[in-house]
Amino acid sequence: MKIKHNTPELLIVGETPWFLAIMLLFFTLTFVAIGLLTLTQHWAGLIFVFVGGGMGVGAMGVFVERLQLILDARAQTLTLRSRTMFRYTERVFPLADVIRAETETGRSNSRNGVNSGQTLSRPVFVIRNKSGTDGTVTKPVTAVLSSGTGAATVTGAVNEWLKALRDTNDLASATDLT
């Protein structure tokens, strides 16, 4: 994930997997083209068109997910958006309920019983639990853990933004009291 916009009023973090989308598009078009060329000589080309093309479209629907996370100081909201070819989800939380961001980590599958798996991570938000119990609940930005430093970068940027916002609000409320 990358930071797209960072001002005191608005922080937008997003990810669009263009490389994966383009590779899956080429995969799909290759199978459809082979199927259409074969269809001129034999009906089995339909298998290439529907099975190969269908697998490519299905893979794009599952693996190509556009993520966006918006922290808006004016609206006082945290918005988590996710879009694939087949679904769109948007979750909105009051910014006052967001305590902090954290990086959740895990290990990829190890081979031959040796713990040589790669460390994977994803950003999550720690939010006040509104279901009547005191405590917190974590809300992941995405269901997928990935390698690299993107999750740690996003977590750091979100926590810095929240700290700056809260320091500004504390300063404003302290001057209102005098």
Q: pLDDT digit of tens for each residue in the chain (178 aa)? A: 888 999 989 999 998 889 999 999 999 999 999 888 888 888 888 888 899 899 999 999 888 889 999 999 999 999 999 998 889 999 999 988 888 889 888 877 656 555 566 888 888 988 888 766 667 888 888 888 888 888 888 899 999 999 988 888 766 655 554 4
CB 59 within 8 A of CB 73: no
Model confidence, pTM: 0.75
Q: What's the angle, vertex CA 18, arms to CA 16 and CA 22, rounded to 5?
A: 150
* Nearest CA among 105, 108, 95, 97 for reference residue 140: 105
Q: Show the DSSP H helices in the chain as ranges.
A: 18-39, 45-47, 53-63, 150-177
